[in-house]
Amino acid sequence: MTKNGPRSLQLLRFLDQAYNRKSWHGTNLRGAVRGLTSEQARWRPAKGRHNIHELVVHAAYWKYAVANRLLRGTRGAFALKGSNWFDRSAGDRQWPEDVALIDRVHQDLRAAIEKLDEAALDRPLPRSASTPFTLISGVIAHDLYHAGQIQLIKVLQRNRRA
């Protein structure tokens, strides 16, 4: 049994819509990468720009960071060495593993939100001015932002071949 009230449940619904559930706004983050090959995920729109694979791992990192902050008040250690941006220039095996990673991290974030008491949503976290509501809303927006970015990269990639 969760302690979630209406606001927590609404945040969970928005989180899922931004990541992997149907919603009115169109393609979500998981939908944007569905069916991509590792070659497509590694393609860069220009030198020095991030590829889709890097965007996926970046989004996984921030889902992890928010979940960890909600549960422990710290960042902790992500599954991959480093933080924020991870080079994904090569490695066919990495792509399916990293898609599985973001799926796992999304579920971990959901579980962290489900553990929150509704009243805690607006209380600043330890050593922070941020509230759980702010962090959760931010990660929802982050998923949607990168979903749109990935959709644009896919269009650029298709146009390059046309």
> Which amino acid appears at position 63 of this protein?
K
Q: Which residues contact 55 (CB under 8 A, 6 or more apart)?
A: 146, 149, 150, 153
Average per-residue pLDDT in the chain? 93
pLDDT in tens, 11-69: 999 999 999 999 898 999 999 999 999 999 999 999 999 999 999 999 999 999 999 99
Residues in the chain: 162
The CATH homologous superfamily to which domain 6-161 belongs is dinb family like domain (1.20.120.450)
Pairwise CA distance, residues 18 & 12, whole Å: 10
pLDDT in tens, 102-154: 999 999 999 999 999 999 999 999 888 999 999 999 999 999 999 999 999 99
Pairwise CA distance, residues 98 & 84, whole Å: 14
Residue ranges per domain, the chain? 6-161
**129, containing H or E segment:** none
In this prediction, residue 1 carries a pLDDT of 41
